[in-house]
Amino acid sequence: MNPDPDRFLDDPGVALMLAFRDGDDEAFTRLVELYQGPVFGMLRRILGPRGSVEDLAQETFLRVWRSRDGYRPTGKFTTFLYRITYNLALNRLRDEGRRPVRPLPEGAEEGLADGASPDPVEAADRGDRAALVRAALDRLPRNQRTALVLQHYEGLDLAEIGSLMGISAKAVKSLLHRARTRLREELTDHGLLP
């Protein structure tokens, strides 16, 4: 049974993609403007700062362009877009034979500190803590790390993550549980959690 495409029309990405499919080339420009930030962010978190983020972002939108004629909304537009982005990033990692590197979002390091004191010793301590958190995240298996990125940074729910990763929502929940447990253990061992 095919989902009713009209039920997704309240999604701005779906509406723009349908307009683009129906011949409105300006709708594609609006799609890029609306979603280039999230695509760049996701690629940076998976590939790290040294990755070819710009090239893959362009390739992502090129693939969206190519899918124009065959596009049929079966879910949120971001699920469709992130699936393309995720697959391109994983292909690049496989081709380069390296693991994902995901820096914490700006300001996340400050969230680890007890206070926001300008004291240089405390600032250095916060930097050390952030480095420990980053290292713990980087040691997670790729599928656990990816599930965390998609949920916490991209705001996707279990079903959307499962669709992107090609697994069930129950499997995503299990991945997230194992990832959080492992992070908690490592951060507790380093004295970052009680």
CATH of the domain at 41: 1.10.1740.10
Judge if 117 and 184 occupy the same domain: yes
Structural domain count of the chain: 2
What CATH number has the domain bearing residue 174? 1.10.10.10
pLDDT of residue 126: 58
Other CB atoms within 10 A of residue 154 CB: 18
| Cα distance between residue 172 and residue 144, in whole Å | 8
Tell me, yes or no, whether 118 and 66 share the same domain. no
Task: Please report the pLDDT score of residue 133 as a whole number.
Answer: 76
Of the residues 66, 96, 126, the one at which a domain ends:
96
In a domain, 102, yes or no: no
Q: Considering the domain boundaries, does residue 27 fall inside one? A: yes
Residue that terminates a domain, selected from 96, 123, 154 = 96
The encoded tokens of residue 137 equal 């995240």
104 occurs within a structural domain = no
Looking at the domain assignment, is residue 194 inside a domain?
Answer: no
Question: Are 27 and 60 part of one and the same domain?
Answer: yes
Q: What is the pLDDT of residues 23-44, one digit of tens each?
A: 999 999 999 999 999 999 888 8
Q: What share of the chain is helix, strand, coil (3-state, %, to 5)?
A: 70, 0, 30
Residues 86 and 15 occupy one common structural domain: yes
Residues of the chain where predicted confidence (pLDDT) is lower than 70? 1-8, 48-51, 98-127, 194
Whether residue 139 lies inside any domain: the answer is: yes
Q: Domain containing 71: what range?
A: 5-96
pLDDT score at 115: 37
